[in-house]
Structure 1
Amino acid sequence: MTEAALIPYASLTAKQSNYIADSRNSWLNVAEGGKRAGKNIINLIAYAMCLEVHPDKLHLVAGVSLAAAKMNAIDSNGFGLQWIFAGRCREGEYKNRDALYIQTKTGEKVVIIAGGGKANDAARIKGNSYGTVYITEVNECHQSFVQEAIDRTIASSKRQLFFDLNPKPPAHWFYRDFLDYQDAEKKAGRNSGYNYAHFTLFDNLSITDEQLRAILVTYDKDSLWYKADIKGMRTAATGRIYTGYMVKNVIVTREQYKDAKWIQFSVGIDIGGTDATTATLSGYTAHYKEVVLLDGYYHKQGKDSGYTHDRYAKEIVDKIEEWGNTYPAFFACAHIFAESADKLFRQALHNELQRRKIYITVRPSIKDVIVDRIRLTEMLINQGRYKVMKHLRQWQEALENATWDEKKRTEGEWVRTDDGSYPVDCLDSSEYAVWPFKKRLEV
């Protein structure tokens, strides 16, 4: 009796069965969701069915490392490919690469096993065309490796990709550069071969109701940890900067502040170059008790295109005029702090304000040490004095998903991650607006 035969089995849910059935004729199969949701097992069953009848000989299985690929896909606690094909497969090498040889209905399959966590790992899978690719924890792998693996299936007789993943922040490259496009195409009716399913702990029938209840009481349901690991939502839960950030304590509505007496307004502007350009309007209540991010301007330009300084100045002054009409005291007590490194933009903004007869001085942003700016925001959040209007989606996403750069942190340097995985420019512009009032806010 094999090891797999000793493991108790649980029934599949309708969602799991449908995902497996739909994978037969789908070119892209993605199982995403929370921890212990059964994603890996469901995908392996679907992938094994694909291998059994696929016309091509050579295939690829990968993970963030070679060991991870073997553990999650080849073994997988008795549910991996070596157990599914027990008695008709063997481990070996193919052209000096680790491989699993499988006897199937359509002949022998050679499944190359590889690690993909580093940029140079892509070079190790070049030179071959693969009939199928299965990458476990795909968004932990390096972007260049994943893209190379996808490209290597272009000549397949029946192109099929299988990915499983735990969620990352919404702007992670895998969503931004790949999955978001697939989602949009499917929604538009142009991607019928895309098979996606979201699984959570609640879909795993091997966990009893009693066990599930006992597990759930150990988590704070409002925490990002719960949202990421249990509900499988795309959010950051490790290495977070603003650990005190909770939606229920920070997000507010205009209705809540309709009668507020504002004693100060400030606008912070960050010019993003090839990234986003943002402007944040902050308001301060009596005695600087609260900071409220009231509104903002956000424009994400591409690498090959962007607005001129004059156009950004015009659009931001359009917002400034709007804010002046919304808040009667705005023009009497507003300050503007614009990107200190971009003198040309500040001049363009000054010219546009003068042209419209808006006499607010444009000052260079006070950058100081970025960690100090971060700590001020963190302090205000923890004290319950930092609020964000509900409609400011990108600002909420940034606060929720901001993380410390892990590599820099191990070197003893505290640096905020700035890799495009969340709209960090919103944090910069909001800090430019708030930092000049640090002494008043710390009273």
Structure 2
Amino acid sequence: MLRDVPLPMSARQVASIVEAQDAPIALWSGAVSSGKTIASLLAFLIRLTVAPDTGLIVIVGRTLQTIERNLLDPLQSTALFGPLAQHVHHTPGSTTAVILGRTVHLIGASDARAEGRIRGATIALAYVDEATLLPQTFWLMLLSRLRVGNQSRLLATTNPDGPYHWLYRDFILRNAEVGLTNWHFTLDDNPSMDPAVVTRLKAQYTGMWYRRFILGEWCLASGAVYEMFDAEKHVVDVMPAIKRWTAVGIDYGTVNAFSAVLVGHGDDDRLYVASEYRHDSRVAGRQLTDAEYSRNVRSWLANVRHPGQREIRGVQPQWIFVDPSAASFMNQLWSDQVPGIAPAVNDVLDGIRSVSVALGSGVLRFHRSCAGLLGELPTYAWDERAAERGEDKPVKANDHSADALRYALHSTAHEWRGLIRPKLEVAA
């Protein structure tokens, strides 16, 4: 089966595939794009050919969509799996697939309630995508369902998390006791990676994210969230011409501060936070209504000056991303016929990572007039008590403009990631 795969395989990948066949729990962990998914899927396919007929075969991911994107799409790619791809059949949206003639059940496990989907089942073979994102209760239930004698197997992949995460603390550190075999992968373990892609990946991550996703370390989230922020480098007094006003991010508040930031794509292919609107009711001594906020945001955008063309006022961003919990305010904006309104993508950790990538790679700059945001960024910190519980969470204080920035950048990350160049090119 290894001979059918057109991609070159490293000695470490091959060793993990072979050794995984006898491991009760096999875990591939480490850096992004390090070849662990391809190796683990090949190990899964080999194990599938000898899996007992008694018991279910399951693939588990955070959602059905992530299973389709991360696993089934690659499995159906002849460029990755050669002729084996012809034996992977799945209708998008279906909760089953047929792989090498065997029915495989696809299970999304985004919260603790997902354990009910496997309760009472007997499972012969399980594959888990991004194990750290699963609820611990689901993982434990899954282990209890692997009960086809000594023939049941669990194969899993993950990027590292914090050192207090349950997977690291209770399984990796106790690997011999729990029957787990763990292979740690780095970018150098993937011979099919283009060196230019490796360089770009290293440019995309800094700080904690670099240690986890590039070095593959299980490290603590502590200190400043945006430790790579440097006012001397990232804050500017003069901006280039803006060729596209990409987005506004809005963090809604009544008692707490209401913050909006405007992001544009400069003709130097950098992103610029060009202006902000902020109303803090505690400072102003007055709360505003949705209608007043809508009017103020529209007035603010209508008066933004264009860099290099100070006589020109007014911008119309392509998108206005609003805190998704602020349904009443979005309804107000729609009633006022404001174009481009959409709920922001509010995945906190992924959003923080997107902002970190933009900062660390040199793509992002801030105009000095954005005083509210610039005041928050240096003090936006990880919650160390939460980290000791195995959770990566920022402290919920003085974060309103930082949240608005996260909404704007993460909701448009697919558009601007292509601007990132290797670090040597963006050092200036």
TM-score of the superposed pair, with normalisation by structure 1: 0.47
TM-score of the superposed pair, with normalisation by structure 2: 0.49
Q: Which has the larger radius of gyration?
A: 1
